[in-house]
């Protein structure tokens, strides 16, 4: 529905602009578009010039984390170089158990992502809340801020004073999935966008047109639906949330 709304709104704005200024010069930019002549037909433009570019719209590093010792919390980070070769970035020892998927997502994301807006991918609403609770407990020493308190109060008033999201937001953590009240979900999106929260646990809802660019995206055995591995297109769509211009 969001994609349809944006398309209709875009066409209405362009049509209105051309009614006001028929000589206006329009620039349409979009990745992976092959039939650019559709803009000319849609808006009645007589002259359409194509200007292809190889400049990437996402500047990102694809990193692989490998656990060396789950008991000692030792892991390595390698980058994927052109041609598929791996280059060791560094090795870490955090002295915390990282045997389970939950432990890995929580401890590795806080170790590597602290101080930068980070998205942690969860395979469902229950897992998203669980991961957010674990992140909140791990970051319990963080001080709240007036902006975080304001978002937490909105959450408490909209859902329930004991709703776990309220406590999480005060520590800079949030979660996001489709079955949330719209005002709460919007407040979480805005809080992440303006830096009020810097850890956001998301489900596949993020693939449905929600624009939440981040510095980091952390995934471990990502799935969409029940025990269905994330497909390649969805994987890169999700990964593309990191490093956007």
The per-residue pLDDT string of the chain (245 residues; one tens digit each, 9 = 90 and over) reads 344 456 788 888 889 999 999 888 888 877 666 777 788 888 888 888 888 776 666 667 889 999 999 999 999 999 988 778 899 999 999 999 999 999 999 999 999 997 799 999 999 999 999 999 999 999 999 999 999 999 999 999 999 888 999 999 999 999 999 888 989 999 999 999 999 999 999 998 877 767 777 899 999 999 887 778 888 888 888 887 887 65
Residues 171/140, Cβ–Cβ less than 8 Å? yes
Contacts of 98 (CB under 8 A, 6+ apart): 67, 70, 73, 75, 104, 107, 108
Strand partners, 78: 64, 88
CA distances from 64 to 74, 80, 89, 204 (A): 14, 8, 10, 21
Dig out the tokens for 22 from the structure.
Answer: 């028929």
* Half-sphere CA count of 12, side-chain side, radius 13 A: 6
> Cα angle at 17 between 14 and 21, to 5 degrees?
140
pTM given for the model: 0.76
């Amino acid at each position: 529905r969001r994609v349809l709304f944006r398309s209709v709104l875009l066409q209405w704005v362009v049509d209105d602009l051309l009614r006001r200024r028929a000589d206006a010069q329009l620039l349409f930019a979009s990745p992976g578009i092959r039939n650019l002549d559709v803009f000319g037909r849609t808006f009645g433009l007589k002259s359409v010039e194509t200007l292809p570019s190889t400049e990437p719209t996402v500047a990102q590093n694809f990193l692989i984390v490998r656990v060396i010792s789950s008991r000692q919390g030792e892991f390595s980070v390698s980058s994927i170089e052109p041609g598929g070769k791996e280059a060791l970035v560094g090795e870490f020892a955090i002295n915390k158990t990282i045997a389970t998927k939950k432990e890995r997502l929580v401890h590795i994301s806080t170790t590597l992502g602290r101080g930068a807006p980070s998205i942690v991918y969860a395979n469902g609403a229950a897992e998203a809340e669980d991961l957010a609770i674990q992140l909140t407990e791990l970051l319990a020493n963080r001080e709240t801020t007036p902006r975080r308190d304001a978002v937490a109060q909105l959450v408490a008033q909209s859902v329930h004073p004991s709703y776990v999201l309220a406590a999480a937001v005060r520590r800079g953590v949030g979660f996001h999935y489709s079955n949330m009240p719209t005002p709460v979900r919007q407040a979480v999106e805005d809080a992440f966008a303006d830096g009020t929260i810097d850890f956001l646990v998301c489900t596949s809802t993020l693939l449905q047109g929600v624009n939440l660019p981040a510095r980091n995206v952390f995934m471990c055995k990502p799935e969409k639906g029940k025990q269905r591995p994330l497909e390649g297109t969805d994987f890169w769509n999700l990964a593309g949330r990191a490093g956007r211009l």
